[in-house]
């Protein structure tokens, strides 16, 4: 690793992030990332104020960094209140409590301390109402009389409180009133994916599809399937299919329509999908059809006239791609037709093909030369989903590079590898980024065997997999497993991510000569308890 770093542009890592540098860059997640880092430097309050109001997406993490540098007393107080532990709020005034105390923190207090908090926040009517309901002996009954704050309570109190106090059947008319609110999708997700909210599950059978999103409609179908209410499930699946925009989402509705009806027309339609996902792969394998809608690009020539390790160079390219008409994309892609620029070329061509022909590229040959095929398949499957192999990719949470490694993990791995003068921008170089990911994956593979579980852990953390996948009952319904359990993963992002990675895994196994079938992966997942070491 030390030898690798010698050959990288050391100036990039050594230079301090300046105010002029930030102000010269366009409003973007990339600039937010550098503002996030700038706020860690020895800067003045005035400089902190200037960059803070240039941020595209303010989150708690970046706000607290700003507050540490700011000379604004109100900002500092809000940040302090956001970081307080529940009992520490007892020493604060009502404005601090209203600004920083969440329902989740409030319910961790005992009865006497809850009363003290309530006395302090009487003038903050909405917060008072929420905390008053949470303090009552029968919060569920009060909540049903307060439709305006239903989601402020239900969606923010944590699993234990919901399971103890809110696991009751809700009248259909009341749920119908909630459907127009933007928080409804989150409510449905929380309710359906928690197996312990079994009484609440029965509340969703009779609601209408009117004003439902395709997302909620699909989850309500899965809820009905769990209880063998197939007629109800079909109603929600038909609606979800019609409302869905992405082919992936249409395909999952078709898949479950087939599973509950066994009508071959759904399987046939699914097998002709333009998307490559676990649902279309399943249909193709059952009907003995080959997957033909993917392409592998590979170039021997070398050309690196664009520094795609620079996030702002990638941002410029991305903006240009979005402005080009479809018939111009292929011509523009020729600028990236080389080994070093392959990820950009594949990214553009997938858009040119209108997502009906899918590039599956295999870069990093020199980085992965010592890894066996199984490890290569896993790394390619993850990288394709994480970043499409774009080396300077930055997520909204500041996950970095090809393998989208979070800053805290990057720093921990750098310390483990004893890399001196580590800089986060090193994550924009695949040789380092992929090497870090390989180290992290070795740790995950000590606990998890199946690629789907590893994907969940890579996305949501191994603690999430242990608590919400392994120790939950979602893979234990027997009927329709493991597919039903895959639809009931708690975090929507991880749920979708795992299925995407699994589809990638099938294609890459074919490309690298292992030729593992989806049905084989599904069969091995059925023996769920043999796929982990917890």
pLDDT digits (tens, 9 = 90+) for 304-356: 888 999 999 999 999 999 999 999 999 999 999 999 999 999 999 999 999 99
Residue 11 has pLDDT above 70, yes or no: no
294 within 8 A of 362, measured Cβ to Cβ:
no
For residue 359, the model assigns a pLDDT of: 98
Q: Which two tokens stand for residue 74?
A: 């109100």
> Is the distance from CB of 454 to CB of 460 less than 8 angstroms?
no
Does residue 439 have a pLDDT over 60? yes
State yes or no: pLDDT of 77 exceeds 90.
yes
pLDDT > 60? residue 480: yes
pLDDT tier, 225 (very low <50, low <70, confident <90, very high otherwise):
very high
Distances 290 to 231, 271, 294, 354 between C-alpha atoms, Å: 32, 9, 11, 21
**pLDDT number for residue 105:** 97
Q: How far is it, in rounded angstroms, from Cα 219 to Cα 28? A: 33
Confidence tier at 475 by pLDDT (50, 70, 90): confident
Comparing CA positions, the residue from 183, 510, 533 lying closest to residue 376 is 510
What confidence tens digit (pLDDT) does each residue in 120-147 have? 999 999 999 999 999 999 999 999 999 9
Range 1-21 average pLDDT: 58
pLDDT at 168: 96
pTM for this model (two decimals): 0.94
Closest CA to 260 of 284, 304, 227, 217: 227
Residue 160: pLDDT over 60? yes
Before 485, cis peptide (omega within 30)? Answer: no
- Residue-wise pLDDT for 279-296, tens only, equals 999 999 999 999 999 999
So what's the pLDDT on residue 3? 41
Q: What is the pLDDT of residues 26-70, one digit of tens each?
A: 999 999 999 999 999 999 999 999 999 999 999 999 999 999 999
Assign 71 to helix, strand or coil: coil
How many other CB atoms sit within 10 Å of the CB of residue 2? 9
* Coil vs helix vs strand at 295: strand
pLDDT at 240 over 90: yes
Output 529 or 427, whichever has higher pLDDT.
Answer: 427
327 phi and psi angles, rounded to 5 deg: -70, -10
pLDDT at 4 over 50: no
List every span in the chain annotated with CATH 1.10.530.10. 373-530
pLDDT of 170-182, one tens digit each? 999 999 999 989 9
Q: Which CATH number fits domain 373-530: 3.30.1540.20, 3.40.50.300, 1.10.530.10, 3.90.1170.50?
A: 1.10.530.10
**Average pLDDT value over all residues in the chain:** 95
Q: 181-221 pLDDT, tens per residue?
A: 999 999 999 999 999 999 999 999 999 999 999 999 999 99
Secondary structure of residue 317 in the 3-state scheme = helix
The SS3 assignment for 396 reads coil
Binning pLDDT at 50, 70 and 90, where does residue 90 land?
A: very high
**Residue 15 binned pLDDT confidence (cut-offs 50, 70, 90):** low
Token duo for residue 161: 């409180």
3-state secondary structure of 405: strand
What are all long-range contacts of 43-46, with beta carbons under 8 Å and residues at least 24 apart?
43/19, 43/69, 44/69, 45/69, 45/70, 45/71, 45/72
Span 467-482, average pLDDT? 88
Strand partners, 448: 532
Specify the pairing of strand 358-359 against strand 294-295.
parallel
Tokens of 397: 């949470």
What is the reported pLDDT for 478? 79
**pLDDT band at residue 476 under the 50/70/90 scheme:** confident
**Is residue 255 pLDDT above 70, yes or no?**
yes
Would you state the pLDDT for residue 474? Answer: 85
**CB within 8 A of 42, min separation 6: which ones?**
none
- Over range 450-468, report the average pLDDT: 97
Distance between CA atoms of residues 489 and 467, nearest Å: 11
- 276-312: buried (b, 16+ CB within 10 Å) or exposed (e) per residue? bbbbbbbbbbeeeeebebeeebeeeeeeeebebbbbb
Q: What is the percentage of the chain residues whose pLDDT exceeds 70?
A: 97
Going from the C-alpha of 396 to that of each of 10, 59, 270, 352, 467, the distances in angstroms are 26, 10, 33, 26, 25
CA distance 426 to 309: 9
């Amino acid at each position: 690793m030390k030898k690798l770093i010698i050959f990288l542009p050391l100036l990039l890592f050594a230079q301090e992030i300046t105010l002029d540098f930030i102000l010269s860059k366009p409003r973007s997640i990339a600039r937010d990332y550098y503002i996030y880092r700038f706020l860690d430097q020895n800067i003045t309050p005035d400089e902190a104020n200037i960059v803070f109001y240039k941020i595209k997406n303010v989150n708690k993490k970046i706000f607290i960094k700003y507050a540490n540098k700011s000379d604004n007393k109100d900002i500092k107080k809000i940040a302090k209140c956001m970081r307080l532990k529940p009992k520490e709020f007892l020493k604060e005034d009502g404005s601090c409590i209203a600004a920083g105390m969440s329902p989740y923190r409030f319910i961790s207090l005992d009865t006497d301390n809850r009363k003290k908090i309530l006395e302090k926040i009487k003038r903050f009517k909405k917060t008072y109402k929420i905390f008053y309901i949470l303090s009552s002996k029968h919060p569920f009954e009060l909540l049903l009389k307060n439709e305006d704050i239903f989601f402020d309570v239900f969606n923010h109190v944590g699993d234990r409180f919901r399971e103890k106090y809110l696991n009751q059947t809700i009248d259909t008319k009341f749920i119908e009133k909630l459907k127009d609110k933007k928080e409804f999708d989150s409510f449905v997700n929380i309710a359906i994916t928690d197996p312990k909210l079994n009484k609440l599950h029965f509340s969703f059978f009779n609601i209408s599809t009117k004003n439902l999103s395709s997302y909620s409609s699909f989850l309500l179908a899965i809820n009905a399937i769990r209880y063998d209410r197939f007629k109800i499930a079909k109603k929600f699946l038909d609606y979800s299919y019609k409302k869905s925009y992405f082919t992936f989402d249409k395909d999952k509705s078709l898949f479950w329509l087939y599973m509950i009806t066994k009508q071959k027309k759904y399987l046939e339609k699914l097998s002709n999908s333009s998307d490559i996902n676990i649902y279309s792969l399943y249909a193709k394998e059952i009907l003995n059809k080959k997957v033909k809608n993917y392409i592998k690009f590979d170039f021997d020539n070398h050309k690196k006239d664009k520094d795609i390790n620079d996030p702002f160079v990638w941002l410029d390219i991305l903006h240009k791609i979005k402005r080009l008409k479809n018939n111009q994309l292929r011509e523009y892609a020729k600028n990236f037709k080389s080994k070093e620029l392959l990820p950009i070329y594949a990214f553009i061509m997938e858009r040119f093909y209108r997502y009906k022909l899918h590039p599956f590229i295999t870069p990093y040959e020199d980085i992965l030369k010592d890894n066996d095929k199984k490890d290569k398949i896993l790394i390619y499957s993850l990288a394709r989903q994480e970043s499409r192999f774009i080396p300077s990719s930055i997520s909204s949470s500041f996950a970095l590079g090809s393998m989208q490694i979070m800053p805290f993990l990057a720093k921990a791995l750098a310390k483990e590898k004893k890399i001196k003068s580590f800089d986060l921008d090193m994550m924009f170089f695949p040789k380092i980024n992929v090497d870090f990911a390989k180290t992290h994956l070795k740790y995950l593979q000590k606990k998890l065997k199946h690629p789907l579980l590893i994907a969940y852990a890579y996305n949501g953390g191994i603690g999430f997999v242990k608590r919400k996948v392994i120790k939950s009952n979602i893979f234990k319904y027997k009927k329709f497993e493991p597919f039903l359990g895959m639809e009931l993963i708690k975090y929507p992002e991880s749920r979708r991510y795992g299925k995407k990675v699994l589809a990638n895994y099938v294609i890459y196994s074919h490309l690298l000569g292992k030729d593992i079938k989806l049905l084989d992966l599904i069969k091995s997942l059925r023996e769920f308890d043999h796929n982990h070491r917890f």
